[in-house]
Amino acid sequence: MQLQEMLVAPFTEFAFMRRALAGSIALAIASPPLGVFLIMRRMALTGDAVGHAILPGAALGYLLAGLSLGPMTIGGLVAGLAVAIGSGVVSRTTILREDTSLAAFYLISLSLGVTIVSVHGSNIDLLHVLFGSVLALDDTTLFLLATIASLTLLALALLYRPLVLETVDAGFLASVSRSGGVVQVAFLALVVLNLVGGFHALGTLLAVGMMMLPAAAARLMTLEMTAMLVIAVALGAAAGYAGLIISFYAGLPSGPVIIMTAGLFYLIALVFGPAGGFLRRLRPRRHLEG
Amino acid sequence: MVKLVGLAIFLACALTANASQAAADNAGKIPVVATFSILADFVSNVGGDGVTVAELVGPNGDAHVYQPKPADAKALREARIILVNGLGLEGWIDRLIKASGSKAPVIIASKGITPQQMEENGHVGLDPHAWQSITNAITYVTNIRDGLIAADLGRQDYYRANAAAYIDKLHALEKQVSDKITQIPPERRRIITTHDAFGYFGRAYGFSFIAPVGVSTEAEASARDVARIINQIKTTKVPAVFLENVTDPRLLKRIADESGAKIGGTLYSDALSPPDGEAPTYIEMMRHNIDVLTVALTQ
């Protein structure tokens, strides 16, 4: 078989591969840009914490209605938002900083989630809930993923300027506009929404990988915000495609391989990244150059 | 001080209650812990009023990946007989027994059965799902009977009579199952399920089973496996795919949609249903499975 054919044939031959690819690309369009903003705002661990926080909500939904999309999505959204916003409130009203309260909240919700799933005497292994099933995307799940991607793009287009301003210089935005708080909450809501979408395809833990790894790699490749967003999306989509192809030919589980591919991109960028990678920093550079 | 006295009184009561309960147990029923619901059903049938049965993995639970609870260790410590399947099904049981400090004898229900091998991704392992053949189930019951007699000689006649009556029922069940199977044309006896739990069933009753995930429900399917199954269904014209009560149904639904096979219903493999469900006992489970298969494959 020719290489070209090998790279396309799995998708022409199998609908489940096309669905998996469509789902991965939908995730890759929306999640990595949010990851870029999280990184620029030094909130990389927020994604992780919110990812864990989704579990008890989704588990409750699963308890009440079984493996059905709606209740698990709504449960995950509520739990994720509660933790994201709750830890922000704690950091503003108590002595604890946001990272501490995030860690506390996500540990509480993770243990709560595991307890809920276990008490149910789960007939489905917790791993399935944690890891999702990118090979088993049905119409409604795909529709959900596409809707989330579209909503996220629209919202990012609307929020772009204030979000960049707030990320780069929150003080300046506060001096010219009172939208800072709204922007921040809307942004967190988008993060939660995307992680819940990713949860259906990749599971709670790996969904965070699709958000953070392409973004971290893109951060190492350019300093320019727009380019960073575009590169992050491209890397996310490439990881989705390459991961599925590897899973198809090597017989490896799909979700983890997609995230490992994104991780590989990150490691390569770590060494060769022109904007702050390891090799770049070894070479002497001109004064004031990035 | 009042509290302390209260506590002392409470402790004293608790201790005497415990002691008297233990005495009652010695005089009466033998506490048995079975690792999962199907074994618990066997031992309840053989032990009858002579035993109290606790199960570690309950209805619809998956014995491959089970999280022990402290209450389970407690049940094991108080047990006078521990009943396991063996053949590698309960990978967690040895550690749990050791941790609980239990000295109770362990009955391996599958003892004496010729194990079938399963091959998955290159490694060969034992297939633990031996109870899916009724002939093997009779061996299980015999092993359980002997274990109960060894622990409680005084009731040996009672256990023998119970076991004989139950084995008669199993023979009748086997007859029903073979009668039903004759309704299914041999070329249609090809089935897809979510995990390879039906190796013994297939061997005993002439079905071939294909499963997208290996022997154990722990493994995650790869795109290659799923593609292979879909091709297999298409080329061999498998008429129906079946869900199991212990695994993730989403993947199998996808495979069914894509290959054109229909979803035949839910088969019970490694666990019984709750008492109000479709398969609360072993006999009802086997009957349910064969009914589901017959309906789906004869249409």
Question: Does B248 reach chain A within 8 Å, measured CB to CB?
Answer: yes
DSSP string, B82-118: EEE--TTS-TTHHHHHHHHT--PPEEETTTT--PPEE
Q: pLDDT tens digits for B163-172?
A: 999 999 999 9
Q: Tell me which chain A residues have a C-beta less than 8 angstroms from the C-beta of B217.
A: 125
Better pLDDT: A11 or A282: A11
CA distance B35 to chain A (A): 14
Whether B254 and A136 lie within 8 Å, measured CB to CB: yes
d(CA A162, CA A180): 7
Distance of CA B247 to the CA centre of its chain: 14
Whether B223 and A244 lie within 8 Å, measured CB to CB: yes
Enumerate residues 44 to 103 of chain B having a beta carbon within 8 A of any beta carbon in chain A: 58-62, 65, 67
Question: Does B258 reach chain A within 8 Å, measured CB to CB?
Answer: yes
Q: Which residue has the tokens 């992780």?
A: A48
Nearest chain B residue to A249, by CA: B224
d(CA B150, CA B179): 37
Nearest chain B residue to A127, by CA: B218
In 3D space, the residue among B119, B115, B111, B118 whose CA is nearest the CA of residue B142 turns out to be: B111
Supply the pLDDT for residue A131: 64
Q: Which helix or strand (DSSP H or E) is residue A110 part of?
A: helix A98-119
d(CA A123, CA B62): 6
d(CA A67, CA A61): 8
Whether A128 and B226 lie within 8 Å, measured CB to CB: no
Q: Is A199 exposed, middle or buried (0-12, 13-18, 19+ CB in 10 A)?
A: buried
CB A214 within 8 A of CB A265: yes
Q: Is the pLDDT of residue A214 over 70?
A: yes
Q: Tell me which chain A residues have a C-beta less than 8 angstroms from the C-beta of B195.
A: none
- Identify the band that residue B143 occupies on the pLDDT scale cut at 50, 70 and 90: very high
Task: For A20, list phi and psi in degrees, rounded to 5.
Answer: -60, -40
Nearest by CB: B61 against A123, A250, A251: A123
Provide the residue ranges of all domains of chain A, joining segments of one domain with +.
3-275
CATH class of the domain defined by A3-275? mainly alpha
Q: Tell me which chain B residues have a C-beta less than 8 angstroms from the C-beta of A16.
A: 223, 226-227, 230, 254-255, 258
Interface test with A, best of B57, B60, B194, B224 (most A CBs within 10 A): B224
d(CA A46, CA B100): 40
Question: Quick one: tokens of B232?
Answer: 């297999």
CB B166 within 8 A of CB B45: yes
Neighbouring C-alpha atoms within 13 Å toward the C-beta of A14: 29
- CA angle, B139 then B140 then B143, to 5°: 85
Supply the pLDDT for residue A102: 81
In 3D space, the residue among B78, B87, B59 whose CA is nearest the CA of residue B21 turns out to be: B78
Supply the pLDDT for residue B19: 44
Better pLDDT: B247 or B25: B247
Supply the pLDDT for residue A251: 83
Question: Quick one: tokens of A180?
Answer: 């800072």
Q: pLDDT tens digits for A137-172?
A: 888 889 999 999 999 999 999 999 888 888 877 777
Q: Is the pLDDT of residue B8 over 70?
A: no
Q: pLDDT tens digits for A68-97?
A: 788 888 988 999 998 888 887 887 788 888
Question: Quick one: tokens of A248?
Answer: 């198809």
Whether A250 and B222 lie within 8 Å, measured CB to CB: yes
CB A34 within 8 A of CB A41: no
Query: Following CA atoms A270, A271, A272, A273 in sequence, which dihedral angle do they give, to the nearest 10 degrees?
Result: 20
Supply the pLDDT for residue B244: 66
Query: Domains along chain B?
Result: 27-171 (3.40.50.1980), 177-298 (3.40.50.1980)
Question: Quick one: tokens of A61?
Answer: 């939904």
Q: Which helix or strand (DSSP H or E) is residue B136 part of?
A: helix B134-151
Supply the pLDDT for residue B52: 93
pTM of this structure = 0.73
In 3D space, the residue among A265, A243, A183 whose CA is nearest the CA of residue A17 turns out to be: A243
Of A52-56, B7-11, B157-161, B238-242, the one with minimum mean pLDDT is B7-11
Q: Bridge-partner residues for A253, per DSSP?
A: B222
Q: B245 by DSSP, 3-state: which?
A: coil
Supply the pLDDT for residue A122: 52
Whether B254 and A123 lie within 8 Å, measured CB to CB: no
- Identify the band that residue B284 occupies on the pLDDT scale cut at 50, 70 and 90: very high
Q: Tell me which chain A residues have a C-beta less than 8 angstroms from the C-beta of B212.
A: none
- Identify the band that residue B214 occupies on the pLDDT scale cut at 50, 70 and 90: very low
